[in-house]
Structure 1
Amino acid sequence: MKSFLITGANRGLGLGMVKYLTKNNKARIIFATCRKPSEELTKLSQEHKNLHILNLDVTNFTKIGEIASEVSKVVGSQGLNVLINNAGVTTKFTKLQLVKAEQLLENLTVNTIAPIMLTKSLHPILKQAVEANSDKMIGAQRAVVINMSSILGSIALNDQGGFYPYRCSKAALNAATKSMSIDLKKDQIVVAALHPGWVKTDMGGKNAPLDVDTSVSGIFNTIEKLKEADSGKFLQYDGTELAW
């Protein structure tokens, strides 16, 4: 895997991914997108010249359309190997009587619509990576799109209710992932939805049983092993397949 683009990279899981890639020398080029870079991300970019911070609010769809040209200038004909749609928002445990329309709309915009539009924008550059690595097996050595989902988006595994904005947006993202896997099959681009586990982050909270390093390590091990047959699957960070 030569080049990565990770959204929502200023903190939490996204920052953990950037730290993993830089620490383990796993990428030739890393794009980290965020609305405003944290001190830690800025410091990492100063220490690692292959790390490029791109200013992006994923709800700004005009800016999303411009990202492709910024990425293309850096990667050239080698294209983009791995797109990780990680940026996301959540609400508290929202019961039916308390849920607000604006919460539903915000979650859907950030968690579902943005990944679709960014993948659309970067599709030509992902195709370039496939062509540039035609001698390699279909998977992360060519081009992969990872949509960071959640087990809370699983309809089959929902036994608690609530979480309407987050659950609905992640279930919709799972549906989009499946459609992407079908639409991009002819381009030999693998697409998968990934549940990172319940992780100790600002979003996951302090009670989460999983630390960022464990989750991130598992995520990248799973990405590296992805094959053509895995396209369209809903996987846990450790590679276990989950029910839709």
Structure 2
Amino acid sequence: MTAIGGKTALIIGASRGLGHALAAEYLDRGWQVTATVRGGGRTALHDLADTARGHLVVENVDITVPDQVAALRDRLARSVFDLLFINAGVTNRPEETAADVPTDTFVHLMVTNALSPVRVVERLRDLVAPNGTIAVMSSGQGSIANNDRGGFEIYRASKAALNQMMRSYAARHADDPRTLLLMAPGWVKTDLGGPGARLTIDQSIPGVVDTVEAHATEGGLHYLDYQGQIVRW
């Protein structure tokens, strides 16, 4: 897919919250956007597509189902994107620790927040232009160095696992010129962040996009926040 006079983005996980805001922000900046939802129902992304004058294509994929990711790859086989941005995140009760979290909850967070995003990177990387960017929505809570308060123990572990797996991916693909970004959007008022979060979506997402654009074509792996600051691993 080629945008006339613009750039192209594939945003995974854009039905609501941060992913939906990413799609809207890139549209506002003149990009051609392909964005995904999970499940067959109508979402806010479909409403956005109705007003996007053909600049937003909605696809369907559940990234925790490898066959669906493979099918998406086949449908997009002739496309080339400047940006692949993977937004995936679920959480659990913040007070749950390794001592009491149900095993199925732990597995759900690890599969959704860590394993599946990296599998998507592996499967869709060839759709990204050689000088393009692959970004994954991480979290400041994935920082081991900055964890001096505890809380959200399982969520933190899942995002730390995501960061570690992306470092391993980067090491295995050290000769790949594509830029790799782990983005920390801040604590944002979404269904995941909750109403007590410090930032609104409008305070976070434009900064996330500015940071991604500032590091485009830079190469290597970077762990950054929505203000463009380096996050300690």
Distance 1:105 1:96 in 2: 12
Number of the residue aligned with 1:40: 44
Distance 1:88 1:124 in 2: 24
Equivalent residues of 1:181, 1:231 under 8 A apart: yes
Number of the residue aligned with 2:119: 117
Number of the residue aligned with 1:80: 81
Larger % of helix: which? 1
Q: Which amino acid aligns with 1:122?
A: L
Number of the residue aligned with 1:197: 186
Compared with structure 1, are the counterparts of its residues 210 and 68 closer, same or farther at alpha carbon in structure 2 (3 Å cutoff)? same
Gaps of 5+ in 1: 131-141
| 221-230 or 1-10, which deviates more | 221-230
Matched, 1:185 2:174: yes
Number of the residue aligned with 2:212: 223
TM-score normalised by L of structure 2: 0.90
Equivalent residues of 1:177, 1:192 under 8 A apart: no
CA shift, 1:12, in A, is: 0.4
Equivalent position to 2:227, from 227, 232, 238: 238
Render the CA deviation track for 1:199-237: whole Å, top value 9, x for unaligned: 010000111111111211001100111156562221111
Matched, 1:169 2:171: no
1:68 alignment partner, SS class: helix
Equivalent residues of 1:155, 1:171 under 8 A apart: yes
Matches within 5 A, 1:83-102: 83-93=84-94, 94-102=96-104
Equivalenced residue count is 225
Equivalent residues of 1:104, 1:164 under 8 A apart: no
Equivalent position to 2:68, from 63, 71, 96: 63
| 6-15 or 96-105, which deviates more | 96-105
CA shift, 1:38, in A, is: 4.5
Q: CA RMSD in A?
A: 1.7
Equivalent residues of 2:167, 2:221 under 8 A apart: yes
Equivalent residues of 2:16, 2:43 under 8 A apart: no
CA shift, 1:242, in A, is: 0.9
Equivalent residues of 1:192, 1:230 under 8 A apart: no
2:181 alignment partner, SS class: strand
| 158-167 or 210-219, which deviates more | 158-167
1:14 alignment partner, SS class: helix
Q: Which amino acid aligns with 2:68?
A: K
Q: Which amino acid aligns with 1:71?
A: L
Gaps of 5+ in 2: 1-5
Q: Which amino acid aligns with 1:163?
A: F
Matched, 1:146 2:142: no
Q: Which amino acid aligns with 2:101?
A: V
Distance 2:101 2:149 in 1: 15
TM-score normalised by L of structure 1: 0.86
Identity of matched residues, %? 32
Equivalent residues of 2:97, 2:153 under 8 A apart: yes
Render the CA deviation track for 1:72-117: whole Å, top value 9, x for unaligned: 24x2xxx121111112111121234431111110011011111111
Equivalent residues of 1:99, 1:164 under 8 A apart: no
Render the CA deviation track for 1:9-58: whole Å, top value 9, x for unaligned: 01000011111122232x13x11111135542111112221211111111
After the TM superposition, which segments of 4 or more aligned residues of structure 1 sit over 4 Å from their partners?
227-230
Q: Which amino acid aligns with 2:177?
A: Q
